[in-house]
Chains A and B, each alone.
Chain A
């Protein structure tokens, strides 16, 4: 099925650094969601975006719904070791199905 273009595929950073990842699509979405998945677990919702241009924060996480409705980014500030994991973006359409990006693997070196 269709997938979003999520980048980067992986990141290796030092503790305390900021992180940025993004997703782009050729299709318009009316919902953008960001999830984090730990090994052997299901994805956990981090941030939900419902309106074009919306900027939402959740602690050290900030995400924005692109004005064109075809992209979104997620920033993590002052990374810590527990931020390690795979981050997925997902776009939601009118049929309530989600289209997922391929994920960004984040490694944080203490």
Chain B
């Protein structure tokens, strides 16, 4: 249980194009999903929180017009990198919050997708 998938697993695109990354929770409903970015040999940095049916909440310093997030259903969130540039090349990872039996007590667990390697030429 608690499987999260991402598609595509890797993508190469030209500078100036837009790229969409999908994140799906396969066996549970996730009202909240998260998008992270990870540079080589570094930790995960939270970019935004995606809530089903509402606007995403972005972390300080993350351009919301560049990284468009849509959470249209309880099992799918998408991240679109608009007008991508080489500095956007990175490993993008999503996670889904499993509500579980402890959620009301503030206890929560996040399950991560396998990640998407984006290379912008």
Interface set of A (CB-CB < 8 Å, partner B): 1, 3, 30-31, 33, 35, 40-45, 48, 50, 88, 90, 92, 94, 96-98, 100-103
Contacts and interface: CB of A to CB of B under 8 A. Distances in A.
Contact of B111 (A30, A40, A45): A45
Contacts of A100: 43-44
Nearest to A44: B112
5 contacts: A1-B59, A40-B115, A43-B93, A45-B109, A50-B107
B42 interface: yes
B114 A98 contact: no
Contacts, number: 64
A103 to B, nearest CB: 6
B25 to A, nearest CB: 13
Contacts of B67: none
Interface in B1-44: 2, 4, 6, 32, 34, 42-44
